[in-house]
Amino acid sequence: MSYEISYGKADVKVYRTHATPLTGIAPIPESPFTGRDNRLFAAELEIVVRGEAFIAAYTRGDNRRVVATDTMKNFILQAALNCEAATLEGWLHEIGRAFLLTYPQMERLTMRGRELPFPAALVPDRQGFMLSERLFSRDRNDASHASLDLERAAGGDAVEVTSLEAGREGLQLIKLTGSSFADFARDAHTTLPDRPDRPLYIWVDIDWRYTDPMRPLDPVHPGYVAGEQVADLAASVFHDFVSLSIQHLVHEIGERMLARWPQLAEVRFEAQNRLWDTAAVSEADPQVRVYCDPPPPYGRIGLVMRRGERATQR
């Protein structure tokens, strides 16, 4: 019998004050983002440990080599205090590497993280308004996430990054005009009318991989792709582009991303059509309308675009 073993600790929320500022981000035309001060850096972290050293705990109840998940939580919190990275990916790398160097029975592991954004609050000052240096407001909109796979190199004294994936999740965008869906296949089951111009409300998650997984871990950040810039680029494309479907829209965003960031090898999209139902229309002005949330089910659209390969739909 063969086994594949994994265990770990999830939902470890970390709030670090005065972390290393994020600087050196190359500007792009679609976004004002070029860095952040990281006065408050917050994230939800997870570790998944893999390795045959723990098999005895499963087969014989022998826990002598098991690192308790509560110990993992405490380790993460202490390691966060010592983190010098300015990015979520850098945090995952530093903490994951520290685990492998501390616990020799861990052969490889996955670190995952989701940003918990706390942007500075806007407060009055003598000139009008300013961003506070001590007050922050929890933002529950889109956020960055990342996943990093690490393993012990031959000899056990070094740690290698085997995979790194980053993304921006939870984008919710509504465009009132400039989107359509028409001329689609029809048969006896089709009831949807052509819509030459419609509001379009989408939920979308965007993920990407680098050609070199070490590129975003450079502390100078010359090739780092910031989730804030990805979100701004997606919004810019949605604003300008007259799309004929959600598929058409996400493909355009993907093309722009691969053109803007040549260090990316792949971009992926998971989108949902959350277009509102029309509840009432003004007789005096048909642009004045009331909408309501649609009942489920929802349309889902997937797309993977890899540099040098044909795009694939899921």
DSSP 91-160: HHHHHHHHHHHH-TT--EEEEEEEE---PEEEEEETTEEEEEEEEE----S-EEEEEEEEEEPTTSS-EE
Half-sphere exposure of 62 (CA within 13 A, CB side): 8
Residue 170, sorted as left (phi over 0), alpha (psi -120 to 50) or beta, turns out to be left
Q: Select which of 13, 69, 71, 162 is catalytic.
A: 69
Q: Is 13 a catalytic residue?
A: no
Residue 153's φ and ψ, nearest 5 degrees, are -75, 170
pLDDT at 310: 67
DSSP structural state of residue 21:
P
Residue 133's φ and ψ, nearest 5 degrees, are -95, -5
Structure tokens at 56: 């005895």
Residue 201 lies in a domain: yes
Residue 143's Cα: distance from chain center in Å?
A: 6
CATH code, 276: 3.10.270.10
Q: Is 160 found in the same domain as 173? A: no
Q: How many domains does the chain have?
A: 2
What is the β-pairing status of strands 40-50 and 108-115? antiparallel
* Boundary residue ending a domain (166, 197, 214): 166
Q: Is 129 found in the same domain as 20? A: yes
**Pick from 20-29, 150-159, 184-193, 287-296: least confident:** 184-193
Q: Is 17 found in the same domain as 28? A: yes
Q: Is 159 found in the same domain as 28? A: yes
pTM of model > 0.75: yes
Mean pLDDT throughout 259-279?
95
Q: Is 130 found in the same domain as 39? A: yes
Residue 1 lies in a domain: no
The Cα 227–Cα 248 span in angstroms is 22
Q: Is 195 found in the same domain as 137? A: no
% residues pLDDT > 70 (the chain): 97
First to last CA, the chain: 34
Q: Is 73 a catalytic residue?
A: no
pLDDT at 189: 81
* Boundary residue ending a domain (139, 166, 193): 166
Q: Give the domain extent around 206.
A: 167-313
Mean pLDDT throughout 136-163?
91
Quickly state the pLDDT bin for 32 (edges 50, 70, 90): very high
The Cα 152–Cα 161 span in angstroms is 9
The Cα 193–Cα 105 span in angstroms is 61
Average pLDDT, the chain: 93
Q: What angle do CA 30, 36, 39 make, to 5 degrees?
A: 155
Q: Is 83 found in the same domain as 192? A: no
Q: Select which of 9, 73, 87, 110 is catalytic.
A: 9
Q: Is 10 found in the same domain as 130? A: yes
Q: Is 137 found in the same domain as 46? A: yes
Strand pairing partners for 149? 110, 163
Q: Is the pLDDT of residue 200 over 80?
A: yes
* Boundary residue ending a domain (146, 166, 186): 166
Quickly state the pLDDT bin for 312 (edges 50, 70, 90): low
Quickly state the pLDDT bin for 314 (edges 50, 70, 90): low
Exposure string of 82-111, with b = 16+ CB inside 10 Å and e = fewer, is ebebbbbbbbbbbbbbbbbeebeebbbbbb
